[in-house]
Amino acid sequence: MSSVIATIVSLLTQLVPTDLSSVSFLSWAGDRDPIYDLLILTGPLVIVLISVVGRMWLTTGLAIGYLLVFVGHLLHSIVTS
């Protein structure tokens, strides 16, 4: 399970620009962790999708995935720090 999450995170990270400071808000907020930046960028999209299509397996999966990425990355940061 954790390797699947790691792969998904890795793929998602590759989908966004390496230098996230090109996105204006993130540039405004300064140089931060790219995974959290990614969560800030994708979070509103997930919420909009939930608002539009409602509660279904896809949106539930996305929300669970979102939380797992957050918790997983937090734990990963703590372990590797």
Stretch that binds other proteins, among 4-12, 14-22, 34-42 (CB under 8 A): 34-42
Quick one: 16 or 40, whose CB is closer to other proteins? 40
The sign of the CA dihedral 20, 26, 27, 33 is negative
Q: Which stretch binds other proteins (CB under 8 A): 1-9, 10-18, 35-43?
A: 35-43
Distance between CA atoms of 15 and 40, rounded to whole angstroms? Answer: 15
Using CB under 8 A as the binding rule, whether residue 66 contacts other proteins is answered as yes
Q: Which of 50, 57, 58, 72 binds other proteins (CB under 8 A)?
A: 50
Q: Are 38 and 13 in contact (CB under 8 A)?
A: yes
* Closest distance of CB 51 from other proteins, Å: 5
Q: Is 58 in the site for other proteins (CB under 8 A)?
A: no
Cα–Cα dist 62/52, whole Å:
14
Read off φ and ψ for residue 49, nearest 5 degrees.
-60, -45
